[in-house]
Amino acid sequence: MPETRYARSGDGGSIAYQVVGDGPFDVVLVPGFISHVELVWTVPSRAEMLERLATFSRLVLFDKRGTGMSDRVEGAPTLEARMDDVRVVMDAAAMSKAAILGVSEGVPMSLLFAASHPERTSALVLWGGMARMTWAPDYPLGWTEEKYRREAEADLGLFGTREEAERAVRMTGIEDPVEVGRAAEYYRRSASPGAVRALSEMNREIDVRHVLPTIHVPTLVVHGTEDKAVPFAWGSYLAERIPGARFAFFPTGHIPTGPVTTEIADEIERFLSAVQESGGWEEAAADRVLATVLFTDIVGSTQKAAELGDSAWRELLEQHHALIRLQLVRYHGNELDTAGDGFFARFDGPERAIRCACAITDVVKDLGLEVRAGLHAGECDLMGGKVGGIAVHIGARVAKEAGPGEVLVSSTVKDLVAGSGIAFRERGTAKLKGVPGEWHLFGVERA
């Protein structure tokens, strides 16, 4: 069994990971629902696939925080927290850039990582995954709430009797008795019932459909035609909406076993070789990136300046700027511009951006000021350390719609913070000046 090591992931504790193989491609495998980096080697089909991948790559396996051998956390880790986990294991394994191989529920985070960190993503392989799981008026492929509830309850069967656990494993398409028994043990030791409930609730809320057009790294989508756990239509949806994605499907269930395992690994190797031949593995500066932008400004600043006079107003502004910059450092935001009494900042994840905006609106009250804040997540152009494009304009317009002391976000921001515990109130739709269409806006609920 490969050696298990640990990498520190900020407040998320220690992340268990392994490095296997010494092939020409650096690959990070993002696990699905739950995992265990050591017990996975006891499941024949999983071990066979990992060994085959390691023949042509330097493969990193890891357990997401809260599962397997990684530190436990309260609730479920957000997509943003999971991105942090990928970065720390890449750093620990000395990988500046790698192909990201997302499996099942690991696919949404892999998509978000590739869009937010194209400079660290050589290629993207999506295996048996989805952008969203539940039904929506513009997503009829999704499960109804009742169907999702039944599937989540079936997952909890893993923690019942041995017979119930093995029945849950067979639902993934595995039939071999040895495979079923080993897989049941693997899942039962990968997480607790409470963790599985929390993960199920978070996965129900995930929606990264708007991220798909922002993927600009070479992408291979792999799906089983007999997959009962993740409908085939969910895989084809990904392939159709990711620019230039290649779609490969095989006659297998959710977890491939037997000869098809080798066929899938061969397809991945061919794909990564083609990426290398085209120069995709070379270090290249990204010119577009998915980012969350934050805009703030002081409510009634003109009146306040007139009341205080120039000197006192400048002193107050300096205190205001210092407080905001302190929060930007605390939440890992990048200050991009300061115009008068307003700030423009960029974040690589929306949860930190929201929490930073809330902190800003709170701390400036000590100065007798009220600040409005607006956030939007979208694809931005990178221009010499700055960001631009329509996403920036939308963020600025969202801020203009915010009320005194309010943090207002677009629906794209709301969709990306599933599992964060952040609550929102519906603010209806608005027409943003200079931006086509109507936009759904949400106010952040404060405790």
CATH architecture of 5-277: 3-Layer(aba) Sandwich (3.40)
Instruction: Tell me what pLDDT residue 404 has.
Output: 95
pLDDT in tens, 263-280: 999 999 999 999 998 876
pLDDT in tens, 19-44: 999 999 999 999 998 999 999 999 99
The whole-number average pLDDT for the span 414-442 is 90
Widest CA span in the chain: 81
Does the structure show a pLDDT above 80 at 429?
A: yes
Least confident of 6-20, 47-61, 219-233, 392-406: 6-20
**In the structure encoding, which two tokens stand for residue 114, read together?**
């590739």
pLDDT in tens, 306-316: 999 999 999 99
Parallel/antiparallel/unpaired status of strands 121-127 and 219-224: parallel
- Superfamily of domain 288-444, CATH level 4: Nucleotide cyclase, GGDEF domain (3.30.70.1230)
Does the structure show a pLDDT above 70 at 284?
A: no
Do the domains 288-444 and 5-277 match in fold?
no
Banded pLDDT at 55 (limits 50, 70, 90)? very high
Q: Which residue has tokens 């511009």?
A: 337
Specify whether the CB–CB gap between 299 and 372 falls below 8 A.
yes
Assign 3-class secondary structure to the chain: CCCCEEEECHHHCEEEEEEECCCCEEEEEECCCCCCCCHHHHCHHHHHHHHHHCCCEEEEEECCCCCCCCCCCCCCCCHHHHHHHHHHHHHHCCCCCEEEEEEHHHHHHHHHHHHHCHHHEEEEEEECCCCECECECCECCCECHHHHHHHHHHHHHHHCCHHHHHHHHHCCCCCCHHHHHHHHHHHHCCCCHHHHHHHHHHHHHCECHHHHHHCCCCEEEEEECCCCCCCHHHHHHHHHHCCCCEEEEECCCCCCCCHHHHHHHHHHHHHHHHHHHCCCCCCCCCCEEEEEEEEEEECCHHHHHHHHCHHHHHHHHHHHHHHHHHHHHHCCCEEEEEECCEEEEEECCHHHHHHHHHHHHHHHHHHCCCEEEEEEEEEEEEECCEEECHHHHHHHHHHHHCCCCCEEEEHHHHHCCCCCCCCEEEEEEEECCCCCCEEEEEEECCC
The whole-number average pLDDT for the span 291-320 is 94
Strand partners, 374: 295, 408
pLDDT in tens, 141-199: 999 999 999 999 988 988 988 888 998 888 777 888 999 999 999 999 999 999 999 99
CA distances from 306 to 61, 296, 319, 366 (A): 60, 20, 18, 20
Does the structure show a pLDDT above 80 at 108?
A: yes
Residue type, 356: C
Instruction: Tell me what pLDDT residue 278 has.
Output: 84
Each domain of the chain, given as residue ranges in start order, spans 5-277, 288-444
CA distances from 248 to 172, 173, 205, 330, 338 (A): 19, 19, 27, 43, 48
Taking the model in full, what pTM does it have?
0.92
For the beta carbon of residue 137, count every other beta carbon within 10 angstroms: 5
